[in-house]
Each structure stands twice: as structure tokens, then as C-alpha cells.
Structure 1
Amino acid sequence: MDLDDPTVDRLFHALADATRRDIVRRTVGGELSVSRLAEAYPMSFAAVQKHVAVLERVGLVTKHRHGRELLVCSDPDAVQRARRALDQLAEAWEGRIQRMADLLDATPHDPPTTHEGR
């Protein structure tokens, strides 16, 4: 997954919200109904449905009906895509830090001079 890919932007937009991150966390352990999820948050059922819809659009969760219940579960592959994108960012920053360290090591270190007696 390329960091310039618009999919990455949508993925991290979805994960930028604490409620949505919590929904993903809760559904990693197994399916939960939207009703059950809604009980955990100080917001309306409709608001939780909207959060689930955002997560579903980027593939972080899937929904399916089981009788009258709408069940939500996390997609481990989508969570791994987010992880890979974060790993790519970490590698880029580590490379930059290493290049800066190399430059500092290559620069002669002159002792500080004092200008006493002027």
C-alpha cells in the first residue's frame, strides 16, 4: 500500500475518531450487534450506525444480518493494511533520522571558543 494512495487517507480518517477506533477494538474479539455497540457510547443509536458505516466504507469492519440483529466484525486484513502504512511511515522517519545522524557524525566538532578578555 502506497502512502500516497487515497485509500490510506480514508483509512486514517476513519481511525482518527476515538469512537471508531474503539468500535474496531471491540469487534476484533468477535461479532457485536450495532445495538450492543451503541450501549457502550453516550450517543444515539443512529450516531453509532454512522460511525460503523464510515468504518465499513474503508473496509475496517463488515456488517451482516443475523435474524433481526445487524452484526459488526473487524476485518483483520484491513487492520493489517493500516499497520503496514504506519510501518512505512516509521521506516521513512527512521531513515531521515539516520541520515541526519550521519551528517552530524561527518561534521567536524570544533570545541566551543570563548571570547574572554575582549
Structure 2
Amino acid sequence: MHAFDVLGDPVRRRILELLADGEQSSGALTEVIQAEFGISQPAVSQHLKVLRDSGFATVRAVGTRRLYTVDTTPLREVDAWLERFRGFWSQRLDALETELARGRRERRQREPQRRGDDDEGHHRAA
């Protein structure tokens, strides 16, 4: 299964978000996912299996418990694929920062004029 097919499902994305906070038992994951998505325990187990089989999660047995963690290898691969597109939003963010800085500079330049007007007894319209 392709990484974006795995990540395209909101339940699996939520499970990964929960695992990003640290190792979780299958029971704890199931409890949260059932409450948030209203799906059955077997459905949650199927999502966990997809995450394991696709390499996004690992599991280890501790007695009767199954503890899941994130495996970052496929996420690094997704990040590497996205790298070629970062320039598109980086340029836009740089342009936004320029516009924000310009606005701050213009406000600072207007402020002394306003304070100066008030000092001379002129009143600004409210």
C-alpha cells in the first residue's frame, strides 16, 4: 500500500497522531478511536494492522498487551517526496512575511505623527 493511501484515512492519521506522543497499548488506542470515530474494536484492529503492514507502526507484546509505536521510516520517505514542493509554499510564506513587515513598518511610521498631533492639541476622529 502506498504511503499516501495509508495516510489518506483519517482514522489511521489519528492513530499516528496518538502514537506521536509515545508508545500506546492497543486498548488505549481503541478506546480513543472508538470514542472519536464510533467504529468497532475489530475495525480499529484492522487500521492498526494496515499501519503495521505498511511500516508506519511497530508492535511489541508485553504479556497479553500489544504496545504500538510509530516507525518514522515511511514518514521520512513522505517528507523527502514533499521536499520538492516546499519551495512553492516557502516562497509564499516569504512574501507574506515581507508584507507583514511592511505593514508593521508603516504603522510605526504613522505612530509618531499621531502622537505628535495629539500633543499639539489636534484631535483624531474616533
Query: Alignment partner of 1:65: what SS?
Result: strand
Q: What's the counterpart of residue 16 of structure 1?
A: 8
Q: Structure 2 CA distance, aligned partners of 1:57 and 1:11? A: 11
Q: Tell me whether 1:77 sits opposite 2:73 in the alignment.
A: yes
Query: Alignment partner of 2:68: what SS?
Result: strand
Rg larger in 1 or in 2? Answer: 2
Q: What's the counterpart of residue 47 of structure 2?
A: 51
Deviation digits for residues 45-70 of structure 1 (CA, Å, limit 9, x no counterpart): 11111001111111111111111111
Q: What's the counterpart of residue 26 of structure 2?
A: 34
Q: Figure out how many residues of one structure are paired with residues of the other and give that number.
A: 84
Structure of higher RCO (CA pairs closer than 8 Å, 6+ residues apart): 1
Deviation digits for residues 55-107 of structure 1 (CA, Å, limit 9, x no counterpart): 1111111111111111111012221111112223x16x84xxxxxxxxxxxxx
TM-score normalised according to structure 2 size: 0.61
Give unmatched runs, 5+ long, in structure 2: 89-126
Give unmatched runs, 5+ long, in structure 1: 1-8, 95-118
Runs of 4+ in 1 over 4 A off after TM superposition: none
Q: Tell me whether 1:64 sits opposite 2:57 in the alignment.
A: no
Give how far 1:28 is off: 1.5
For 1:73, give the aligned amino acid. T
TM-score normalised according to structure 1 size: 0.64
Q: State the identity as a percent.
A: 27
Q: Structure 1 CA distance, aligned partners of 2:21 and 2:56? A: 14
Q: Structure 1 CA distance, aligned partners of 2:21 and 2:73? A: 14
